[in-house]
Structure 1
Amino acid sequence: MPNSPMWLGPACGLASAVLYTLTNIALRKCVDVDPYLVSAVKAAPTVAVLGPLLCWNRWVGSSTAATERPFEQLTALRLGRFIGASFLAQFFGNAAFQKALGYIGLAASVPITLGVLIVGGAIFGAILLGEAVSRRKIIAMITLIVAVVVLSLPETTANETTVSRSAAEILTGSLWAALSGLAYSLFGVTMRMTLQHGFRSNVLMFVSGLTGVITLWSYCAVMLGWNTISRTSPDQWLAMTAAGFLNFSAFVAITASLRLLPVVAVNLINASQVAMAAVAGVILFSEPITFRLAVGIGLTFIGLIILARRTRAPLVITD
């Protein structure tokens, strides 16, 4: 984007962080809905928006890279690999994150997922892409691992029964959040592998969304049944649909920001969603402010800042 104003890049980066936070708030409102149904509805707006757009570009003969490298030129191996990663991101990324929200809330789920996502992305990137793991990245990873452990610890209380129940809920929710981050990290690395062959991110996001729509809706139809699905309230349908459109809008904003700013700057701006999630969890959902939560969020910020400084690690994209 030549001749763009200097404020546009930071504005797009901040918009993406806000939009991702709004997405998570909408998802937090749906914790009483089956997480696979939530994920199925969330995936639909990406297909609804990108599908017609890609068809239109193809129809009018657009000269963009997305149409120069059409779907049929994706080799069976690359396509199968990316669809597999997309499936994991939908079932063990989106759905697992939704389950974590029900156990430990918004303020704790976001930093755990983000921390594991970054650590897993560095590990998978080293294994699958041969990306170097610098000393700075190792220190950041250790800091983020400590943050995840702290956030996964139960709070101490005088009531032993409460401690046991709280410990079980926190551990379960933390494991779901960690599984979500791991699935997202594998998806991000697989997407980078596919992008290296010249394919546009909007094409791959459409394939990922379509994978989610087909597999998740099929799962819901078989396991939940249409009678159960039809009992979902209009407010819940609205919140789930809003989460999907907000998530897609956040992806568009962060893509625009990456065209205008270094990845380091975008990573730092986007990390602000950790604080936004904590504030939203406390104010909107009355999630308790605890010493464990404050320390864990603080360590997450420190790890992200260490990672971002003089680091060229690509931004990890969640689905």
Structure 2
Amino acid sequence: MAGTRAAFFYGIVSAICYSGANICLRRATHLDPVWVSQLKSIPLIVVLGSVLLWRASQGQQVGVGLRTIGAICVAGLFGQLGGNILFQWALGVVGIALAVPVTTGSQIISSAIMGHVFLGDRAGKQLGGAAVALIAAITVLAFGAERAGNAVQAADTTTLATWSHVLLGICAACVSGASYSVLGVTLRHHTKQGAPITTTLFIIGLVGFCSLGSIVFARFGTELWHTTQWQDYAVLGAAGLFNVVAFATLTVALRVASVLFVNALSASQIAIAAISGVLLFHEPWTYTLSIGVVLTVLGLFLMRPRGTEAPAKPVHSHDSN
């Protein structure tokens, strides 16, 4: 009972913090997506770097092989360039209420497929049903995306979003989810081989800061460091800290929680994203959004394994970079 209560507590904290990170990112859609993604990685590097230094001073293993470093770096580029940047851009096109469920649906489908192909995960009938539900969710959400896109654009400009622009936003969210899956599957493989999760996440953060920083410098030089308002720095710093706390608490929860519990957490994040989009950012609540959220939650629960569920391993969520 104590373990269940602990898992519930840490799981709720994790879901709230992941949602808090997404809300902060939604508030930063007026900034360049690459710049946002670079700044968001700083708290992860600082916190995990400090943890690694402490563990090394205690004689604990923190190093990994060159082969693992290379694989994590490549996967990190997928997660940063294809995941974080596109997710941030999608937030500014279709809003948080649509971007989060679409990204989550895409990530769940592609993670299941990649896990089956590359890690030998079992793929039962549930996978087919979940895939149908999630694809249907993305399709339904896409039909209602133009109204959401218009609401997002109206908040920043006087122009309305075109259908092609909104469709690109939906596609960006889908590609973002698939990119996060590449990163997640790679992380699962190497952590199963004994690579410390703290080290792998630190490498990902460092790869993100350096690669994204190179892009920002090539485009803007050092201009953004001087022109970005302190309020924006605070929001993005909060987003990064939310991610760190969320992943830490999720890792604790998953030591005793099941896959079903993980999916329930994901479902709660989708609901929070939809509610926050409507209440905080005045995004429209439509019947397509309602149906899409329900279908996404259904797809997540259909992913549960049959029989007795073992505690789940930590997986890399779309907002933990």
TM-score (norm 1): 0.90
Q: CA deviation at 1:262?
A: 2.0
Other-structure match for 1:218: 214
Query: Which amino acid in the other structure matches residue 44 of structure 1?
Result: I
- After superposition, the Cα gap between the structure-2 partners of 1:155 and 1:212, relative to the gap in structure 1 and judged at 3 Å, is closer
Other-structure match for 1:203: 199
Q: CA deviation at 1:314?
A: 5.2
Q: 1:261 aligns with which of 257, 262, 267?
A: 257
Distance 1:220 1:85 in 2: 20
Q: CA deviation at 1:156?
A: 8.2
Other-structure match for 1:95: 85
Q: 1:188 aligns with which of 180, 184, 187?
A: 184
- The alignment status of 1:277 with 2:267, answered yes or no, reads no
Distance 2:101 2:249 in 1: 21
Q: CA deviation at 1:168?
A: 2.1
- The alignment status of 1:120 with 2:110, answered yes or no, reads yes
- After superposition, the Cα gap between the structure-2 partners of 1:33 and 1:295, relative to the gap in structure 1 and judged at 3 Å, is same
Once the two structures are superposed, residues 3-40 of structure 1 have per-residue CA deviations (whole angstroms, 9 ceiling, x without a partner) of 95541111111111110000000000000100011000
Q: 1:85 aligns with which of 59, 63, 75?
A: 75
Other-structure match for 1:300: 296
- The alignment status of 1:28 with 2:18, answered yes or no, reads no
Q: 2:174 aligns with which of 146, 171, 178?
A: 178
Other-structure match for 1:105: 95
Other-structure match for 1:242: 238
Q: CA deviation at 1:269?
A: 2.6
Distance 1:304 1:5 in 2: 23
- The alignment status of 1:10 with 2:13, answered yes or no, reads no
In the alignment, is the contact (CA less than 8 A) between 1:154 and 1:166 conserved in 2?
no
- After superposition, the Cα gap between the structure-2 partners of 1:247 and 1:84, relative to the gap in structure 1 and judged at 3 Å, is same
Other-structure match for 1:227: 223
Query: Which amino acid in the other structure matches residue 140 of structure 1?
Result: A
Q: CA deviation at 1:309?
A: 5.5
Once the two structures are superposed, residues 177-231 of structure 1 have per-residue CA deviations (whole angstroms, 9 ceiling, x without a partner) of 1111010011000001101111221111111111111111122112122124421
Partner of 1:271, secondary structure, is helix
- After superposition, the Cα gap between the structure-2 partners of 1:226 and 1:14, relative to the gap in structure 1 and judged at 3 Å, is same
Other-structure match for 2:150: none
TM-score (norm 2): 0.89
Q: Aligned-residue CA RMSD in angstroms?
A: 2.0
Give the share of equivalent positions with the same residue, in percent.
34
Other-structure match for 1:38: 36
Distance 1:92 1:201 in 2: 21
Other-structure match for 1:51: 49
- For structure 2, list consecutive stretches of 5 or more residues without a partner in the other structure: 148-153, 155-159
Distance 2:286 2:2 in 1: 43
Q: CA deviation at 1:241?
A: 0.9
Other-structure match for 1:317: 316
Partner of 1:33, secondary structure, is coil
Distance 1:5 1:13 in 2: 12
In the alignment, is the contact (CA less than 8 A) between 2:94 and 2:166 conserved in 1?
yes
The count of aligned residue pairs is 304
Once the two structures are superposed, residues 130-152 of structure 1 have per-residue CA deviations (whole angstroms, 9 ceiling, x without a partner) of 22211012111111011111111
Other-structure match for 2:151: none
Shifted more, 167-176 versus 98-107: the winner is 167-176
Distance 1:256 1:27 in 2: 25
Q: 1:130 aligns with which of 104, 120, 131?
A: 120
Once the two structures are superposed, residues 262-311 of structure 1 have per-residue CA deviations (whole angstroms, 9 ceiling, x without a partner) of 23223213321000000000000000011211111111011111113637
Query: Which amino acid in the other structure matches residue 70 of structure 2?
Result: G
- After superposition, the Cα gap between the structure-2 partners of 1:315 and 1:299, relative to the gap in structure 1 and judged at 3 Å, is farther
In the alignment, is the contact (CA less than 8 A) between 2:260 and 2:301 conserved in 1?
no
